[in-house]
């Protein structure tokens, strides 16, 4: 029973509804953790005691068994300190914001690539105005080769090379933040 403080009349513990809301929040956090890849999990401050439970939940594919294992994972997570769960939530939020920034940077580079392929020398002149250190001859050759590949239905080697050059030019040191796997996947989808 909750009980009341005889002096103030306030309840001594959270209500059942509040406990249920908190348990459902932990369950939702567990679902997010299970949906992440191993590489993404490694970047989060997940305690080692929870990792086997997360892996078990990923491994189990039968609907009811998966649901039961997810509930068990949430139970184990509720045994952790609130600070640990908050650290995981904060890291997930930061990861989400970082991912959005990386996607926006990739889209910016892709837009420049498409402008160069569509507008030619006018877009190249504008790019060189914004980035005077760019190698005009190399970029022009990459654009010409990418257009040639596109017209002859060849594999997009120069198309990808143009993307890499633009990424390095536009993003500079931030180019290392953009995941190389995501770039390769994006390039293959584009063709």
Domain locations along the chain: 16-80, 100-190
What share of the chain has pLDDT > 90, as a percent? 48
Residue 95 is predicted with a pLDDT of 65
Q: What topology does CATH give the domain 100-190?
A: Diphtheria Toxin Repressor; domain 2 (1.10.60)
Domains 16-80 and 100-190 share a fold: yes
Placement of tokens 């909750």 in the chain: 2
Residue 189 is predicted with a pLDDT of 43
Residue 178 is predicted with a pLDDT of 41
Residue 2 is predicted with a pLDDT of 67
Ranges of residues in the chain with a pLDDT under 50 are: 174-191
Residue 185 is predicted with a pLDDT of 39
37 burial level (CB within 10 Å; 0-12, 13-18, 19+) = exposed
CATH number of the structural domain 16-80: 1.10.60.30
- State the average pLDDT for the chain: 84
Residue 96 is predicted with a pLDDT of 65
């Amino acid at each position: 029973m909750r009980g009341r403080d005889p002096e103030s009349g306030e309840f001594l513990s959270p209500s059942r509804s509040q406990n249920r809301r908190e348990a459902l929040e932990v369950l939702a956090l567990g679902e997010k953790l299970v949906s992440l890849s191993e590489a993404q999990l490694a970047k989060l401050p997940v305690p080692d005691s929870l990792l086997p439970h997360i892996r078990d939940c990923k491994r189990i594919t039968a609907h009811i068994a998966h649901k039961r294992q997810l509930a068990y994972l949430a139970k184990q997570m509720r045994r952790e300190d609130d600070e640990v769960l908050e650290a995981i939530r904060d890291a997930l939020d930061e990861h989400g914001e970082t991912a959005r920034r990386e996607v926006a940077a990739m889209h910016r580079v892709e837009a420049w690539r498409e402008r160069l392929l569509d507008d030619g020398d006018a877009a190249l002149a504008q790019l060189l105005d914004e980035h005077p250190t760019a190698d005009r001859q190399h970029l022009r050759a990459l654009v010409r080769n990418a257009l040639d590949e596109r017209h002859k239905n060849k594999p997009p080697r120069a198309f990808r090379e143009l993307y890499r050059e633009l990424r390095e030019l536009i993003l500079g040191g931030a180019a290392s933040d953009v995941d190389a796997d995501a770039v390769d996947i994006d390039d293959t989808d584009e063709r």
